[in-house]
Structure 1
């Protein structure tokens, strides 16, 4: 299990608005207010839990953030309908389509997933499996 996943962001206001709407469908809440951002950045987690976290922040080295080629963050959904809702929400709030919800049997017979990019080009996957 990971402690946190962090993505660089250029526009924290835009990215927070996007992830607030998308991650709410996974039960994740933003913990840091935009006016209180510290060195750890902005992060989301389940209420009452410290870990795992999803984090966005401006890069520490001061260079512009960019989407990694071949990099993808995948979120596990509780059911197929949640995958659909996540993808629809992402596209409605500035995300771009990278693959509509559906079975991906090349990965596993029960691998139901949808793919998109967030407003700054980071690739996301929403996935549900039966086991």
Structure 2
């Protein structure tokens, strides 16, 4: 089981606006906010957004993304809409991804720093 995932940011205020709007849709609630980072949780799982501790700019991992489980397609759609309304950009509109699985319904977004996030469900329409 994964305990936590952390992504870097160069603009904590923009990240807070984005993640405070997007993560509650998939069940992650705000846990903490500090001058150097934000924390969200759902049960034992934690997601954090941090200014890099080495003082260098945050960068995006090419080929990496974080996927959040959604209960249904409407939740995936709301995740995508909230991301776009709060400083994110689309990297794949909500829809079926039959190349992954016949029932795979997902949406891909980029946060304000360019980190790739996804909401996905296998639930029927």
Please state which structure has a larger fraction of its residues in strand.
2
Q: Give the whole-Å Cα distance in 1 for the aligned partners of 2:73 and 2:123.
A: 10
Select 2:90's aligned residue among 72, 85, 97: 97
RMSD over aligned Cα atoms: 1.5
The aligned residue for residue 33 of structure 2 is 33
Corresponding residue of 2:39? 43
Q: Which sections of structure 1, spanning at least 5 residues, go unmatched? A: none
Is 1:83 paired with 2:89?
no
Note if contact 1:117-1:124 (Cα within 8 Å) is conserved in structure 2.
yes
TM-score, length basis structure 1: 0.88
Which residue is equivalent to 1:109? 102
**Where do 4+ consecutive residues of structure 1 move more than 2 Å?**
none
In 1, the alpha carbon distance for the partners of 2:94 and 2:120 equals 9
Aligned mates of 1:112, 1:28 — CA distance in 2: 20
Deviation at 1:129, TM superposition (A): 1.1
Instruction: Name structure 2 gaps, 5 residues minimum.
Output: none
CA drift at 1:15: 0.3
